[in-house]
């Protein structure tokens, strides 16, 4: 299977899930939620999107198992599997910030070989994979995704809800390295889209995250010229254990350039 062949089917699935999410988002003045075992919120939109995506993937690709944040799958042994987050940024969804996404990735032998991110409130689609260059699409208009970096200026993508002292220390370090440092707050996997599109240069994350939070963005970023590395500047490997966490990372627009700075930080 060529990953390019997945683009249209996955886009249609995400559009369908997006409609279900937007119905709840637009029709509920106050969005109801409950807390999961890890204290993260869960809404009806998470569950409806999850069911729609899983059923759609199973119909189209019955031989590829699925691991979802909202699923109940046990650990699987296959080296090829879907990794999905049916509603990334549930806190943003509840707060009506519009900065939430749908993430779908295909992982093979520990590597994300295809990734798609959809922004329901903007009907925007981001996609990238090993057999094609990354691009975004909105209202039928496609734009190539290409990372950027600057020797003098650095735009850092930061979380709206997960900033810690370590992130603040990181920003101070970069202020010593660049003439100008600009912080761009964003929710969910939009932070990775900002780097893939060249609007930001780096996104540091020092807390644990689920694999489904970054796998799709990882594939898109690699197909646009960037990458995601762990905090020791080594490659990240994904596996089929749904309980596995990524223990922090750097999403960068240019590995060679930022490695020089980050390795000195170690």
- In this prediction, residue 182 carries a pLDDT of 96
Q: Which of 90, 109, 143 is the last residue of a domain?
A: 143
Would 163 be classed as within a structural domain? yes
Q: Are residues 14 and 125 in the same domain?
A: yes
Q: Which of 143, 172, 198 is the last residue of a domain?
A: 143
Burial class (CB in 10 A: 0-12, 13-18, 19+), 25: buried
| Predicted confidence (pLDDT) at residue 29 exceeds the cutoff of 90 | no
Q: What is the pLDDT of residues 4-28, one digit of tens each?
A: 999 999 999 999 999 999 999 998 7
Q: What is the pLDDT of residues 208-261, one digit of tens each?
A: 999 999 999 999 999 999 999 999 999 999 998 888 899 999 999 999 999 988
Would 148 be classed as within a structural domain? no
Give the rounded percent of residues in the chain with a pLDDT score beyond 90.
Answer: 79
Give the pLDDT mean for 74-102.
90
Which range marks the domain in which residue 254 is found? 153-265
Instruction: Supply 255's token pair.
Output: 């590995």
Query: Pairing mode, if any, of strands 141-144 and 180-186?
Result: unpaired
State the Cα–Cα distance between residues 90 and 56, nearest whole angstrom: 22
Sign of the C-alpha dihedral computed for residues 59, 61, 65 and 66 taken in this order: negative
Report the domain count for the chain. 2
220, 192 in Cβ contact below 8 A? yes
Q: Are residues 158 and 255 in the same domain?
A: yes
Instruction: Supply 13's token pair.
Output: 């699935």
Distant-in-sequence, close-in-space partners of 175: CB < 8 Å, separation ≥ 6 = 181
Average pLDDT taken over every residue of the chain: 93
Q: Are residues 229 and 98 in the same domain?
A: no
Q: What is the pTM of this model?
A: 0.95
Q: Are residues 166 and 240 in the same domain?
A: yes
CATH no. for residue 10?
A: 3.30.540.10
Q: Are residues 162 and 116 in the same domain?
A: no
Distant-in-sequence, close-in-space partners of 219: CB < 8 Å, separation ≥ 6 = 105, 106, 112, 113, 114, 115, 128, 129, 130
Q: Are residues 112 and 203 in the same domain?
A: no
Give the rounded percent of residues in the chain with a pLDDT score beyond 70.
Answer: 96
């Amino acid at each position: 299977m060529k990953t390019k062949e997945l683009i249209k089917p996955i886009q249609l699935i995400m559009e369908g899930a997006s409609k279900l999410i937007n119905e709840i988002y637009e029709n509920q003045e106050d969005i109801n939620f409950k807390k999961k075992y890890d204290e993260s919120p869960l809404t009806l939109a998470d569950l409806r999107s999850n069911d729609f995506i899983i059923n759609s993937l199973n119909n189209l690709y019955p031989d590829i198992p699925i691991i979802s944040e909202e699923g109940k799958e046990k650990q699987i042994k296959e080296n090829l599997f879907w990794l999905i987050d049916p509603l990334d940024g549930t806190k943003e969804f509840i707060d009506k910030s519009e900065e939430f996404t749908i993430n779908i990735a295909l992982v093979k032998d520990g590597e994300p070989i295809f990734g798609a991110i959809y922004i329901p409130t903007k009907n925007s689609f981001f996609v990238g994979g090993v057999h094609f260059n990354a691009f975004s699409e909105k209202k039928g208009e496609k734009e190539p995704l290409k990372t950027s970096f600057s020797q003098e200026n650095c735009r850092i993508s930061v979380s709206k809800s997960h900033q810690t002292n370590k992130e603040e220390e990181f920003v101070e370090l970069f202020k010593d390295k660049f003439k100008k440092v600009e912080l761009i707050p964003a929710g969910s996997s939009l932070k990775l889209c900002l780097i893939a599109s060249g609007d930001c240069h780096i996104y540091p994350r020092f807390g644990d995250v689920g694999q489904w939070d970054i796998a799709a963005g990882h594939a898109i970023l690699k197909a646009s010229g960037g990458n995601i590395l762990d905090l020791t500047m080594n490659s990240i490997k994904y596996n089929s254990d749904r309980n596995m966490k990524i223990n922090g990372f750097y999403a960068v627009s240019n590995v060679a350039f930022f490695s020089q700075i980050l390795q000195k930080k170690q």
